[in-house]
Chain A
Amino acid sequence: MDHPIIQLEGLTKYYGRVKAVDNLSLQIGKGEIFGLIGPNGAGKTTTILMLLGLTEPSAGKAMVCGINATRHPIPVKRKVGYLPDSVGFYDNLTALENLQFIGRLNGIPEHAITDRARKTLALVGLEKEMHKKAGAFSRGMKQRLGLADLLVREPEVMILDEPTLGIDPAGIREFLELIRQLSRQQGLTVLLSSHHLHQMQQICDRVGIFVEGRLLVEGNIDTISSRLFGKEPYVITVTVREDLSARPALEQRLRSIEGVQGVKVAGHTVELSCRMEITPEVVRLVVQEGLGVTAVQRKAYGLDEIYQRYFESNPKMSETHGKVQHVYQ
């Protein structure tokens, strides 16, 4: 990466004797959405706090936009907008007043603050609630207000720690879409921390899996998936209208397709294990047999499976510790 916006080099943090972050090195480029995935206590928030200069690293350095966050936290904070996992607002102030306060703290000229705050509230869908006291806001509304609070400063980098906590499913989709739009339209670099894997898969360009303060693997989800599950068989499931128990010859014909390792026929579905991607050939044959295809599904190895593999079922995880696997497209 030529000019990374976020650059961590050997970042380490001890709390007493406990190593919260262990020799973390990472680069995030401009306009990229990077997801930090890991269980609670993995060191995600500590890493974020070091990036903001809010806690001092025991070793290594964190650079944001080329500025050392530990030595010069104020210029870094001017460039970074941070949404903590449990964001709080002054309950006695309205949403607009809360944003105006943050605007003033960030040195936005008085004449521009209100206008900018109103626009930002409209952007996150809180324009009707701008004169309501923040104390009356639901958790989801507070998260939206948190995003507005971050955007009102027009940052170059957004750091979102568990941003979708407490938002309803429809709201989550909108929220993530908004983050993606902002990143694409305004070139914002986003660092997202979460353990909601499907959300991270929806939005992130790259992810890093974090456990016990160590970054185990980082890269594009598809690439990590093919690297991890490359040797696993492709599983294709075809569902048809007709009952397949009356067609014993179908199984034999499907087995004759090159790459097919196994076929299971039951009721209206046929499941094939294959060495390679042969979905079009399978569908073509089923249609030639005069069957009405209603659904075709190919099992994909997503972030859920990657996570499972790393955290639960990989007996060699301990061997991987300390060695970051960089997986790029």
Chain B
Amino acid sequence: MEKSSMFINKILPARQPGPVSPFRVIVRKEVGDHIRSWRFIVMLLLILFTFAGAMYVSLSNIRQAVANSGDPDHLFVYLKLLTTSDNSLPTFHIFISFLGPLLGIALGFDAVNAERSNGTLIRLVAQPVYRDNLLLAKFYGALLVVGVLFLSLVLLMIGGGLLFTGVPIELAECLRVMAFVVLSVVYVAFWLSLSICLSVLFRYAATSALTAIGIWLFFTVFYQIIVNMIMRSIVPDAAYLPEESVISFNNLFLSLMRIAPSQLYTDAATTLLMPSVRSLGPLTMEQMAGAIPAPLPFRESLMIVWPQLTGLIAATTACFALSYWLFMRKEIRT
């Protein structure tokens, strides 16, 4: 308890000697609560284990990966650490696409309804604090914890890679890794925002948790099956279709799939961590003609993933705006 307080004081130092703003006070409390909570510790252990497993597999195979001159990305050692696998274990970003939503849900599913049922919400809003600050502080506090967690993991990965390979990290690699961290945080932020919204909407924490997990299950398991079924029912045999129609159906399929946040995340993470990925849609032979299989500069990769990134940010903002609207309109007693 004392140690965690010291940690919080280090990352969120209170301004001395004047009073701290109420927003910062709530953020500090939220960070402290998350760090001490069992659900976060369990999620942290799960992510640490998967990270350790993915790193072990990629470090075991890194020699072959960087020696493969046929791979245009073979010189990006640190990106290879995040993407190399021998198929025994998924790569780290695939794990995050599964565990990230659970982390977001775990940190936000009872953000408001637990305060309401414990009787602390009315006590909080009776203090000289703006009501929206409360919601924002809950979001920001959880996001800070997620950000610190992901940043620590990639720094651990870079440190481990440096010790193991002795190869210094390039600026382009560092930028890509940091962009991956930002992307992962935004991805978790969406699920966090959604679960906070559900915690405002539903009176009981169990209802909001089950609903959030239901939405996650739907997008993770059932959504792809449903989209495949729809496409199979509306697309005629591709062998009889002209090229434009095939491309158009393919684009439709991808557009439908990109409604799922996990698809947006996987698309963007793959592009950021594999510099040779040039497009996230179908390419014609004409477009491919003359293209040299070389890695793209970071800026170009960022432009490719920009729609995915802004899509995730927009979804997060929409969920947060909805929770804000619901929270501000809801009577404090109900």
Closest-CB distance, A95 to chain B (whole angstroms): 14
Interface residues in A, total, Cβ within 8 A: 31
Interface members, chain A 78-130 (any B CB < 8 Å): 78, 80, 82, 84, 86-92, 101-102, 104-111
Contacts of B36 on A, CB cut-off 8 Å?
92
Contacts of A111 on B, CB cut-off 8 Å?
17
A84–B120 CB distance below 8 A: no
Closest-CB distance, A64 to chain B (whole angstroms): 13
Q: Which of A74, A86, A102, A107 contacts B130 (CB 8 A)?
A: A74
Give the complex CA separation of A165 and B35 in angstroms. 34
Give the complex CA separation of A49 and B129 in angstroms. 15
Interface members, chain B 120-173 (any A CB < 8 Å): 120-130
Contacts of B127 on A, CB cut-off 8 Å?
77, 102, 105-106
Instruction: Determine which residue in B18, B36, B121, B122 has the highest number of CB atoms from chain A within 10 A of its CB, and name it.
Output: B122
A105–B18 CB distance below 8 A: no
Give the complex CA separation of A15 and B331 in angstroms. 10
Interface residues in B, total, Cβ within 8 A: 29
Q: Which of A82, A105, A109 contacts B22 (CB 8 A)?
A: A105
- In the complex, which residue of chain B has the Cβ closest to the Cβ of A94? B1
Contacts of B25 on A, CB cut-off 8 Å?
101, 104-105
Q: A92-B36, A105-B129 are in contact. Are A84 and B18 (CB under 8 A)?
A: no
A101–B29 CB distance below 8 A: yes
A52–B126 CB distance below 8 A: yes
Interface members, chain A 134-161 (any B CB < 8 Å): 149
B16–A88 CB distance below 8 A: no
Contact with A along B20-45 (1 / 0, CB 8 A): 10100110010001001000000000
Give the complex CA separation of A84 and B123 in angstroms. 7
Q: A55-B331, A74-B128, A91-B118 are in contact. Are A109 and B123 (CB under 8 A)?
A: no
Give the complex CA separation of A80 and B125 in angstroms. 12
- In the complex, which residue of chain B has the Cβ closest to the Cβ of A48? B126
**Cβ of A45 under 8 Å from chain B:** yes
Give the complex CA separation of A110 and B13 in angstroms. 12
Contacts of A15 on B, CB cut-off 8 Å?
331
Instruction: Determine which residue in A52, A86, A88 has the highest number of CB atoms from chain B within 10 A of its CB, and name it.
Output: A88
Contacts of A108 on B, CB cut-off 8 Å?
19
**Cβ of A178 under 8 Å from chain B:** no
Q: A74-B130, A77-B127 are in contact. Are A107 and B120 (CB under 8 A)?
A: no
Contacts of B331 on A, CB cut-off 8 Å?
15, 55
Give the complex CA separation of A54 and B127 in angstroms. 10
Give the complex CA separation of A168 and B203 in angstroms. 31
- In the complex, which residue of chain A has the Cβ closest to the Cβ of B22? A105
Closest-CB distance, A13 to chain B (whole angstroms): 10
**Cβ of B14 under 8 Å from chain A:** yes
Closest-CB distance, B99 to chain A (whole angstroms): 25
Q: A90-B120, A92-B36, A105-B22 are in contact. Are A82 and B126 (CB under 8 A)?
A: yes
Give the complex CA separation of A75 and B22 in angstroms. 14
Closest-CB distance, A140 to chain B (whole angstroms): 15
Q: A105-B128, A106-B128 are in contact. Are A84 and B14 (CB under 8 A)?
A: no
**Cβ of B232 under 8 Å from chain A:** no
Give the complex CA separation of A49 and B118 in angstroms. 18
A88–B123 CB distance below 8 A: yes
Contacts of B128 on A, CB cut-off 8 Å?
74-75, 77-78, 105-107
**Cβ of B332 under 8 Å from chain A:** yes
A109–B122 CB distance below 8 A: no
B130–A109 CB distance below 8 A: no
Q: A52-B126, A74-B130, A105-B22 are in contact. Are A87 and B14 (CB under 8 A)?
A: no
Give the complex CA separation of A55 and B126 in angstroms. 11
B123–A149 CB distance below 8 A: yes
B123–A87 CB distance below 8 A: yes
Give the complex CA separation of A55 and B333 in angstroms. 9
B16–A110 CB distance below 8 A: yes
Residues on B lying within 8 angstroms of A by beta carbon are: 14, 16-20, 22, 25-26, 29, 33, 36, 115, 118-130, 331-333
With A77-B126, A106-B127, A108-B19 given, name 4 new contacts (CB 8 A).
A49-B333, A77-B128, A84-B126, A111-B17
CB-based closest 6 A-B pairs? A88-B119, A107-B19, A88-B118, A82-B126, A88-B120, A77-B128
The contact sample of 24 A-B pairs, CB cut-off 8 A, is A49-B333, A52-B126, A54-B125, A54-B332, A55-B331, A74-B128, A74-B129, A74-B130, A75-B128, A77-B128, A77-B129, A78-B128, A80-B126, A88-B119, A88-B121, A90-B120, A101-B25, A104-B19, A105-B25, A107-B20, A109-B18, A109-B19, A110-B19, A111-B17
